[in-house]
Structure 1
Amino acid sequence: MADELPTDRPPPGTPGLVGLIERSVVLLLVLGLLVGVGAVLWPFTTAILFGATLAVAAWPLRHALVSRGLRPGLVATLLLLLAIILVVLPVLAMAPVVSDQLVRGSQVIREYFATAPPPPAWLTGLPLLGDRLARIWNELARAGGNLATALAPYSATLQQALLGAARALTASVVQIALSLVVATMFWINGATLAQDLREILLRLGGPTAAEALQAAAGAVRSVAYGVIGTAAAQAALLALGLALAGVPGATSLGFIGLLLALSQIGGPLLALIWGGAAWWLFGQGEHGWGIFMIAWGLLVSTVDNFLKPWLIGLGVHMPMSLTILGVFGGFIAFGFLGLFIGPTLIAVAFILLQAWRAETPR
């Protein structure tokens, strides 16, 4: 019997070892491929995420136009033109206006401090900042309102800050242009990409994964409407109140308010705009309009407390507390894009948790 056994048979366990080595090599190759793809796409991560956010936010409008018989390419072109009109053109139009207002503001400051007025009592009485603000006030008064002379000791710091701001502005312009390109690509081929992604998720995680994809899209869309819609409403109300009160540069100040409201953290700084306008009105003897400006400014600063949650809750079917937590937590963790990433992650986790709870234990 021993002579009949094959002598070239491999030792027991060898085929399993060979298969393990082969699978390990394939796994390493796949990981290397993913790392390479990630390295290639990493410089464009912000543009891809922001472009996908724009595409998801405008998807209902794209779907409505395509349903009426328009070709996806034509719809993508129309949406791109609409995005340029709503985003790029206002910035280009407001840039010279804001620059002119800054020049005029510096002239007003120079004329005011030319008489060397003493700092007001309320300014010096501010906690923590009173002494520093009074010192800056006195330096401006000694310099006759000349900002360049007063800020000369801080020239190196200001130069670094301006260079950093210029670099950030340039990078932002490039990222916005790339985001519009990415959004246009999604508007053209988004339906096919969404279907492919849905099929992949169905294969990997079943219906629950596909439902999580829908929840993620709804979260992104709702946060876009909530953040941008609330900021636009606040800026419009602010500009309207300033114009009614006769404050010069109402449009420019409203545009600055829009940027502050979009930044979320800068939202409370809106009080500096309408508070400064009220101060100017009181100084002009317009006490009635000054009181109106204070009341109107309080409305502008508090309108987001109920408008933003309502807009965000239109498309996210989860507790409002989790949505707000995702908005602010995402902003703190990831910056501006975190406004969309945070609620999306929480929405997906909430859907998976609900599916796990609904599943019958074996």
Structure 2
Amino acid sequence: MPDDLNRTSDGRQTVALIERSIALLLVLGLLLGVLAILRPFTTAILFGGALAIAAWPLRQALVRHGLRRGLAATLLLLLAILLVALPVLALAPGLADQLGHGAAQLHAYFAAAPERPAWLARLPAIGERAGSFWDEAVRAGGDLGILLAPYSATLRQAVLGVAGALADSAVQVILSLVVATMLWSQGEALAAALREIFRNLGGAAAERALEVAAGAVRGVGYGVVGTAVVQAVLLGLGLAIAGVPGAAMLGFVALLLAISQIGAPLLILIWGGAALRLFQQDQPVWGAFVIGLGLFVGTIDNVLKPWLIGFGVRMPMSLIILGVFGGFLAFGFLGLFIGPAVMAVATTLLQAWREAARRDA
């Protein structure tokens, strides 16, 4: 009889283990299915969430002043669209005119058969190729069609790649705005649910880590966008003071490059080209001024960005810098937001663990 009871008990435990295993596999399968469905929208969800968190104080101010949540979300959506769409619509015709004017000036310059500068051949790595290109430009009389004919296939592929990337980016931006608008409208319910989940999983420390992560994302948003705005304004004003045509358009292009982070090194093409134009027009003082301004604008983000990020989260500056640059290297543009958030959560959990250990000691 005892053997029969033991076998019955073992059988029930086996059945229970199998049932739990099946339930666990079903839950895992469900989670994998959800992740597969959301995977194409990962960028839009993460960036839209970061945008919603960054603008949340403004949203709360609108709600406190009597606006309904839906109306506040609509106003923020319109503001986000206007900040992007209006400058593009205003500057696009000027950009086309500037490109056409620049091509005409380049054609006229090389049509005059200018002598190749001596310093061109001394440029490291590219000196010989740059000199050959100069000679070809003089022989072609500045005709860009003749100069670029050997590279037509490569240029076509590059243009198609850039067009595809821009189209994908436009779609992601639209989806991000949709996600941000949904969060601005119904963000309280989601925030309350997340706090409850984190509280149940890890107590007050986990709930605090969620708040710190939101502060980190908000701080990085301020740091990235705020720094880009400062860089673009300084560069645009400096170019306008130096008398460079199209300074406003160049400032807006600088804003887009600085926000993208990846294109930030290309700022040298803006101020470098402007300085070269000033030197060619026998304005060496203004050319030197633009070079100094460009160097200042290009390096200010190393100081300004961590300082602005510090407004959103209280943690050591060294960890903020590691989170920003390490996250960017590991995850790309979104890593600028993910890196500091992860470092902030880890720091908060470690501090909570140390405080708990001191209380128990």
Q: Calculate the TM-score normalised by the size of structure 2.
A: 0.94
Q: Name stretches of at least 5 consecutive residues in structure 2 with no aligned partner.
A: none
Number of residue pairs aligned between Structure 1 and Structure 2: 359
Determine the C-alpha separation between the residues in 2 that align with 1:6 and 1:300.
83
Summarize the alignment of residues 125-204 of structure 1 with structure 2, pairs less than 5 Å apart: 125-204=122-201
Q: Counterpart of 1:277? A: 274
Aligned with 2:114: secondary structure? coil
Question: Once the 2 structures are TM-superposed, how far is the Cα of residue 8 of structure 1 from its aligned partner?
Answer: 8.6
Q: Counterpart of 2:8? A: 11
Distance 1:6 1:280, change over 3 A: closer
Which letter maps to 1:49? Answer: L
Q: Counterpart of 1:205? A: 202
Aligned CA RMSD, in angstroms, stands at 1.8
Q: 1:77-109 CA deviation, whole Å, 9 max, x = no partner? A: 110111011123222333332222112111111
Summarize the alignment of residues 209-358 of structure 1 with structure 2, pairs less than 5 Å apart: 209-358=206-355
Question: Once the 2 structures are TM-superposed, how far is the Cα of residue 328 of structure 1 from its aligned partner?
Answer: 1.4
Q: 1:121-145 CA deviation, whole Å, 9 max, x = no partner? A: 2221111111121122222222211
Which has the larger share of helix? 2
Which letter maps to 1:150? Answer: L
- Shifted more, 85-94 versus 123-132: the winner is 85-94
Question: Once the 2 structures are TM-superposed, how far is the Cα of residue 9 of structure 1 from its aligned partner?
Answer: 8.2
Q: Is the 8 A contact 2:70 2:185 kept in 1?
A: yes
Q: Counterpart of 1:31? A: 28
In the alignment, structure 1 residue 117 sits paired with structure 2 residue 109: no
Question: Once the 2 structures are TM-superposed, how far is the Cα of residue 72 of structure 1 from its aligned partner?
Answer: 0.3
Which letter maps to 1:47? Answer: A
Determine the C-alpha separation between the residues in 1 that align with 2:4 and 2:22.
30
Determine the C-alpha separation between the residues in 2 that align with 1:289 and 1:189.
52
Determine the C-alpha separation between the residues in 2 that align with 1:107 and 1:195.
60
Q: Calculate the TM-score normalised by the size of structure 1.
A: 0.94
Aligned with 2:313: secondary structure? coil
Q: Is the 8 A contact 1:279 1:290 kept in 2?
A: yes
Question: Once the 2 structures are TM-superposed, how far is the Cα of residue 15 of structure 1 from its aligned partner?
Answer: 1.3
Question: Once the 2 structures are TM-superposed, how far is the Cα of residue 10 of structure 1 from its aligned partner?
Answer: 4.9
Question: Once the 2 structures are TM-superposed, how far is the Cα of residue 297 of structure 1 from its aligned partner?
Answer: 2.4
Determine the C-alpha separation between the residues in 1 that align with 2:265 and 2:320.
21
Distance 1:15 1:249, change over 3 A: same
Q: 1:81 aligns with which of 78, 83, 92?
A: 78
In the alignment, structure 1 residue 104 sits paired with structure 2 residue 93: no
Question: Once the 2 structures are TM-superposed, how far is the Cα of residue 301 of structure 1 from its aligned partner?
Answer: 2.1
Which letter maps to 1:71? Answer: R
- Shifted more, 162-171 versus 123-132: the winner is 123-132
